[in-house]
Amino acid sequence: MIEAVAQNLVFGILLGALYGLAAVGIAMVFGVTKFLNVAHGELLMFGGYASFWLFKLFNLDPFLSLPLTIIFLLLIGTVLYKLLFVRMVKLPEEEKIKNTMLVGFGLTLILQNIALNLWTADDRGITTSYSGAAFTLLGVRFPYVRVAGLVISLVCLFALQQFLRRTYTGKAIRATVEDWEAASLVGIDVHKVYLLSFLIGTALAGVAGALVLVSFSVEPAMGMHWTLKSLIVMVLGGAGNFMGTFVGGILLGATESTAAFFIPGNYRQVVGLVLFLLILIFKPQGLFGAKER
Amino acid sequence: MRNLRIISIILLIIILACVPQVVEKDSIINLLCLVFLYISLASAWNILGGFTGQTSLGHAAFFGLGALAARLLWIRGFPIYPSILAGGLLAVVFALLIGFPSFRLKGVYFAIGTLALAQILNVTVGNVFPTIAALPVEELVAYQLTPRYYLFLGLAVIVVGVAYLLVNSRLGLGMMAVREEEDAAESLGISALRHKLLALVISAFLTGLAGGAFAYYHVSYYFQFPFTPMWSLDMLTMVYIGGTGTVLGPIIGAVFFVVLKEFLVLNVGEYHLIIFGVLFVLVVLFLPGGIISAWKKIRDALTHRTKSNAVKLSPEAKS
């Protein structure tokens, strides 16, 4: 019994790491640009498909092909930004959030149906030589690919934090978040900062997509699910604190899987959503967010 | 001018009421049924999303509850009209339950919060009623399109009528004041929460009625189907394409939405949703007030109206 609960919890945490990574991507974009990109889940789906086809056609290992997946997503991100999002940079904040959300819904429809037409509605998964392998600790199984997902997510998070903290460009991004007008006065190219933040978010979606592919599978309609999860986790963790966001993801994954173990029927999603609503209403700044200034 | 408009509206309704007597083809009647359903949905959504400015992504919940209650009562032998009314009332009960907590949320958080609420209901209904809502044989044999047509037509007239009355009422003006500037409205003695709640209740009731009509119209569907988030997104899409916060906008948006979708399905087949998505993105980016404001701009340009004052005073020019 205890082992079964622990096993569930571990799987929940490992899945939660992917929620966290996806959410950090959407939070990065939202935090800096105030673009609410609800097509984030579709970008994640494209990342999964990129990884899938690199494996299928060129026999590239999904972990080794991560840089290629990222490059593919950066291309998509650049096109989307230059074609659509750049037009909404100058709107006042509330308008910007609303309009990017609406454009995002349009994109959801477009990207999902492109995937559907190109690659059919089939569930796509891959089997590598190490797919089923796992190590056992105290009677709990840890599949290698899922642990690798957690580790890669943590590496991405750490790299992002160091980038924002230590590099000149990272400081420029943080300055823009504080006050974009003042930032542009001291010579920071705000447009470049916006583009860069958008691309970082896109790249993180791509990595998350590849990790979802190796642990589970991908299909064209998966985007909505992941966007919703990312939004929930972003609000859970509190905007502006990526570590908090990531921990929020792990919490959501752990809660869902534990609840799924104890409540009969398929209610795991409901538990996550109820948790989300409660936090949204009673602690709108998120679990780890700073108080409103 | 005003009389002329009223007469032409009444004429239009009479002509639409005559359609089933004249037109034999079921496909045209079905298309019109869909148009009326979507006009009702868009206009009902617009009362909360357009007039009051609270973008809801959870209206599928009201639609679904209306459909669920009406269908369950109806196939258990209740007459259809009271069943539909019960559906509307169930939607109101749910609206009152979620109203107070969700209006603590502002702007985009309200949108995401309502989406989450609707998803909770969607998943729960899918678990509790996993089956198809099929009609009993005797109903299936007795199925006729004409009463459904009149139901949808009547529904559309009622919903648009309510929207029209609201725009010209004190309550509607209060709602618009809340949309424009909540604090300023409060300082004038308009209770923002009260107006938002009323808008939500009216909007939910009408959406619930539409759900009931849907339950009467559709022969078989999964109980979960009217709860899917697609319905909420469709309502929002139609209103934005037509023009938010106007009476005419949602009607134009709905007609455009249904007719274009049918046209694309017939002509470009599997690519229709891609093209539809592209069109929607273009409208959001380049026609911020929807078709109705584009039309106004063209008309103004054609009649050479002196721009400054006329344009500045119209509410569409502001947003």
- Residue B145 sits in a domain whose CATH number is 1.10.3470
Report if residue A89 sits inside a domain: yes
Tell me the residues of chain B between 262 and 281 that have a Cβ less than 8 Å away from chain A: 270-271, 273-274, 276-278, 280-281
Q: Each residue of B7-45: pLDDT tens digit?
A: 888 899 888 888 888 888 888 899 999 999 999 999 999
Report if residue B8 sits inside a domain: no
Tell me the residues of chain B between 176 and 215 that have a Cβ less than 8 Å away from chain A: none
d(CA A76, CA A70): 10
Minimum CA–CA partner of B269 in chain A: A117
Distances (CA, A) of B157 to B29, B93, B150, B161, B210: 17, 24, 10, 6, 12
Domain that holds residue B205: 27-279
**B107 at A interface, C-beta within 8 A:** yes
Co-location of B127 and B266 in the same domain: yes
What ipTM did this prediction achieve?
0.84
Judged against a pLDDT cut of 60, whether residue B306 lies above it is answered with: no
The 3-state secondary structure of B84-136, one letter per residue = HHHHHHHHHHHHHHHHHHHCCCCHHHHHHHHHHHHHHHHHHHHHHCCCEECCC
Report if residue B16 sits inside a domain: no
Yes or no, beta carbons of B101 and A84 under 8 Å apart: no
pTM of the model: 0.86
For residue B8, the SS3 value is helix
User: How many Å lie between the alpha carbon of B36 and the closest alpha carbon of chain A?
Assistant: 24
Report if residue B34 sits inside a domain: yes
Co-location of B113 and B186 in the same domain: yes
Domain at A156, CATH number = 1.10.3470
Q: What residues have CB less than 8 Å from A176, skipping those under 6 apart? A: A32, A183, A188, A190, A193, A194
Domain count, chain B: 2
Tokens encoding A185: 């006065």
Contact present, B155 and B40 (Cβ < 8 Å)? yes
Report if residue B59 sits inside a domain: yes
Report if residue B232 sits inside a domain: yes
Report if residue B112 sits inside a domain: yes
In terms of Cβ atoms closer than 10 Å to its own Cβ (0-12, 13-18, 19+), residue B144 is: exposed
Report if residue A74 sits inside a domain: yes
User: How many Å lie between the alpha carbon of A271 and the closest alpha carbon of chain B?
Assistant: 9
Report if residue A205 sits inside a domain: yes
Helix, strand, coil percent values for chain A (each to nearest 5): 75, 5, 20
For residue B58, the SS3 value is coil
d(CA B126, CA B135): 19
For residue A239, the SS3 value is coil
Domain that holds residue A166: 2-282
* pLDDT greater at residue B137 or residue A115: A115
Judged against a pLDDT cut of 80, whether residue B318 lies above it is answered with: no
Report if residue A197 sits inside a domain: yes
A221 closest CA partner among A95, A116, A83: A116
Co-location of B190 and B309 in the same domain: no
User: How many Å lie between the alpha carbon of B280 and the closest alpha carbon of chain A?
Assistant: 6
Domain count, chain A: 1
Contact present, B174 and B54 (Cβ < 8 Å)? no
Minimum CA–CA partner of B101 in chain A: A281
- To the nearest 10 degrees (0 to 180), the angle between helices A223-237 and A2-33 is 80
Q: In sequence order, what are the beta bridge partners of B11?
A: none
Report if residue B239 sits inside a domain: yes
pLDDT band at residue B317 under the 50/70/90 scheme: very low
Residue-averaged pLDDT of chain A: 87
Is residue A141 within a helix (H) or strand (E), and if so which, with residue range? strand A140-143
Q: Each residue of B266-299: pLDDT tens digit?
A: 888 778 889 888 988 998 888 888 888 888 888 8
Residue A289: predicted pLDDT: 62
d(CA A93, CA B46): 22
Q: Each residue of A210-245: pLDDT tens digit?
A: 999 998 889 998 988 899 889 888 888 776 678 888
Q: How is residue A265 annotated by DSSP?
A: S
Q: Each residue of A242-281: pLDDT tens digit?
A: 888 899 899 999 988 888 888 877 788 888 888 888 887 7
**B219 at A interface, C-beta within 8 A:** no
Co-location of B205 and B304 in the same domain: no
User: How many Å lie between the alpha carbon of B13 and the closest alpha carbon of chain A?
Assistant: 33
Judged against a pLDDT cut of 50, whether residue A28 lies above it is answered with: yes
Least confident range from A104-108, A198-202, A281-285, B160-164: namely A281-285
Report if residue B5 sits inside a domain: no
Residue B155: predicted pLDDT: 96
Co-location of B113 and B239 in the same domain: yes
Report if residue A292 sits inside a domain: no
Co-location of B74 and B107 in the same domain: yes
Co-location of B123 and B80 in the same domain: yes
